Amino acid sequence: MLRKTLIAICSGGLSLGCALLVSKASFVEALTISILISGVSLVVDYLVEVESTLKKIESQSAGEIAAIADRMRAGNQSIARQVEEAHAKLFEHIDGRLSLLMAVPELFNLQRTRPTTAQSIVKVIRDAYSYERRSSPLSTRFLERKTTDFSGLLHGLRAGHAVYAGEDFDWMMTLTGTCERTIDATSSTATDSGGRRRYSGGFWDSNQGLRYMEAQREAVQRRGVKIRRLFILEFAPLTADEFYIALCERQRRAGIEIRYLTRDMCRPELLNQLDDFIVFDNEVCYETIPTPTPGEDRPTVSRTEVVVARDTVNDRVSQFTRLWDAALPCPDPEGEGSDGVSESPTAPR
């Protein structure tokens, strides 16, 4: 600062001398000019020093920022490694806990959990944990709702039967895709038709019905599942319905054994047994309960049940056998049933 002051004074003195010698200005005017020049000199010198200082600060700051960025990158990598290690330890802990859970049933003489079941449980837990960390609030709530539904299904099956309000098509498709031996099913106009007096426009005419037919075809051809279907017709004239006849032919080509039963073919004790249900492998029963509809409207399903209670399933197996024995083979294009028996809707059984 002293150097700047001396330079300013010298500049002022020099300018004062020049002003007195060269110009005819008075001493006051010359002094004013010298002071102005010395002030400008002082300001310019100061600005030059400020600029130099700012460049030094900028250079130092850039170096410090780069160093901080390097430390942050290294820190982030360290944090990522720590998170991955924590995940690995968590999954290892889960695997260990599930292994212990698999061994617990032996202490109580219970059936041991199958390895495939345990692996599925581990996968569900891992996927749920991994998904929740990066999901949106809405998708998380959706996942929680589906998890609650699945928990309700497990709870219901433990009690012997699970209930769904409405029609759960996925249950039926899953059972069809996993059964190994037999499918015994009834298909009534109360649930599957397009109206009380027609089959077209109903379940078998829908996208779900087509998917179900394809799933049954695969069960027959790929896994050797034996399928029997009993059409329960509210009115005998439905046997002449063009859509119904074509439906029978499609089912027959898929390898399904089919028969039909009308109310006037039933013995009195069978009239209250014309329910809509499917028995898979004689182990699980899928049942639909229709809502009564007025007039000729298409029926709707009010409730779906999956039953695993042994007594109830056995009752359904016996019920299907009685209805099947009372039924007749469905029509074919040549006018005879699939078992070579002529059609007779009113034949005594």
Taking only the tens place, the pLDDT of each residue in 185-200 is: 999 887 887 666 677 7
Q: String of b and e for 39-73 (b: at least 16 CB within 10 Å)?
A: eebbeebeeeeeeeeeeeeeeeeeeeeeeeeeeee
pLDDT of 313 above 60: yes
Task: Classify 255 in phi/psi space as left (phi over 0), alpha (psi -120 to 50) or beta.
Answer: left
Q: What is the CA radius of gyration of the chain?
A: 44
Taking only the tens place, the pLDDT of each residue in 140-186 is 888 888 888 888 888 899 999 999 988 899 999 999 999 999 999 99
Confidence at residue 181, expressed as pLDDT on a 0 to 100 scale = 97
Please tell me the pTM assigned to this model. 0.64
**Identity of residue 148:** T
Q: For residue range 46-55, what is the model confidence (pLDDT) as tens digits?
A: 666 767 777 7
pLDDT score at 337? 44
